[in-house]
Structure 1
Amino acid sequence: MKIKKQHRKKKYLHKLNRKRMHKKQENTGEVLCKVIKESWDHRKSSYRNLRDMGLATDPNKTIKIPNFKQQQLKRAKQMVNEGESESEEEQNIEEQPIKGHVVGLLEKESKAPRKRRFMLPKGQVEFITYLLDKYGHDYKAMERDKKNYYQETWKQLRQKIKTFMGIPKQYGEYLQSRGKLEEDEEELKKQAKALVMDD
């Protein structure tokens, strides 16, 4: 019975491309981050590359969860060897990463302002534009409208309109289609201030 099982495992599968399968298993994936890609050394392992850049490979090793037993042992060792503890601490000080600039660049990139890609769905835009055309900024009248199927309160509708006005592309298209784009900028600022004051 055992021999049959072993034989069954070793059957050659014609439909499998072993070379492609092996390549897929060995492949660690493409590095999409431009900063890391530029300073990546293909001769080194991924662990050594990340260590040289000052990045963590395993968060459990870098941010250790305090263990009560280990803390007590460390404290006991310090009490016994008061003079030697200082030399151990000096040994534990980590070396500065070779490519330390990578961390700075990554931090700078993460703090850089991003383009807003958020857009409201088409149905919601149609509903909001319908309300704005019919009632202007009278939110309490919007609340009583027959098309307010979800019975949203005037504050919820006001928030939706605020969100819509905060998306330049969609709100700009709405103003252009209604011929309101030539209006004074001061008027638009007043409307925005009125919305903020309502809060």
Structure 2
Amino acid sequence: MGKVRKKRKNTYNYNINRKKLKIRARKKMAPRIACDELRRAWDDSRSVATNLAEMGLAADPNKALAVRAETDTSTEPKYVRKPYVLKELKAAASLPSKHTMGISSDMVFYVRHMVENYGEDYKAMARDDQNYYQDTPKQIQRKVDLYRRHHPDEYKALITSRTKQ
């Protein structure tokens, strides 16, 4: 024989502020816009496509860049209500990146040693005793290129001192 189940009556909880819960849920569901320029110009009452169109951006790249050549070849959007967003984005893109990866002092020492002794002979660098991690010539070349991009003046000085010897 089965047990008799007791059903508890649903009661209203007066201690919960339902309006505040609804606002919190809406904030949690809304996407977080990482770009400061877009976040400042964003209007929550409008759709994504409308917001982007007002800023001069495209929601659908297939519609923005047609496959066939059209008679109107202007790249600027026609109806831009917030052109300052494009200007701010271009200005932010032209600034040097804050998140560029630097080179460790150990790697700088390693690359200087290799370039001073071997110049650009990466196969000889791979056979060097200082090559503790047994880097391949291609891996060493990538490290030298990274050093060259971050310290172009020092690299030129290393190469010129190598050629004088």
Q: TM-score range by the shorter chain?
A: 0.5 to 0.7
CA positional deviation for 1:166: 5.6
TM-score, structure 2 as length reference:
0.53
CA positional deviation for 1:160: 3.1
String of CA shifts for 1:15-68, please: whole Å, max 9, x gaps: xxxx99xx58x935111110111111222222211111111111111112229x
Is 2:91 aligned against 1:108?
Answer: yes
Is 2:28 aligned against 1:62?
Answer: no
1:179-190 to 2 correspondence within 5 Å? none
> What SS is found at the alignment partner of 2:137?
coil
* Corresponding residue to 2:39 among 37, 40, 51: 37
Is 2:52 aligned against 1:96?
Answer: no
RMSD: 4.5
> What SS is found at the alignment partner of 1:32?
coil
Between the aligned partners of 1:126 and 1:164, the Cα distance in structure 2 is 7
Larger helix proportion of the pair: 1
Contact 1:118 1:167 in 2 (8 A): no
CA positional deviation for 1:106: 0.9
Residues 167 and 152 from structure 1, CA distance in 2 versus in 1: closer, same or farther, beyond 3 angstroms? Answer: same
Residues 158 and 43 from structure 1, CA distance in 2 versus in 1: closer, same or farther, beyond 3 angstroms? Answer: closer
Partner of 2:116: 137
String of CA shifts for 1:138-177, please: whole Å, max 9, x gaps: 1167554245434638xx7576346347657xxxxxxxxx
TM-score, structure 1 as length reference:
0.45
Between the aligned partners of 2:49 and 2:156, the Cα distance in structure 1 is 56
Number of corresponding residues: 129
Counterpart code for 2:84: H
Contact 1:51 1:97 in 2 (8 A): yes
Runs of 4+ in 1 over 6 A off after TM superposition: 195-198
Q: Which runs of 5+ in 1 are unaligned?
A: 1-18, 72-88, 169-185
Contact 1:50 1:57 in 2 (8 A): yes
Contact 1:52 1:99 in 2 (8 A): yes
Residues 46 and 125 from structure 1, CA distance in 2 versus in 1: closer, same or farther, beyond 3 angstroms? Answer: same
Between the aligned partners of 2:30 and 2:162, the Cα distance in structure 1 is 50
Residues 196 and 98 from structure 1, CA distance in 2 versus in 1: closer, same or farther, beyond 3 angstroms? Answer: farther
* Corresponding residue to 1:191 among 137, 157, 165: 157
Counterpart code for 1:104: K
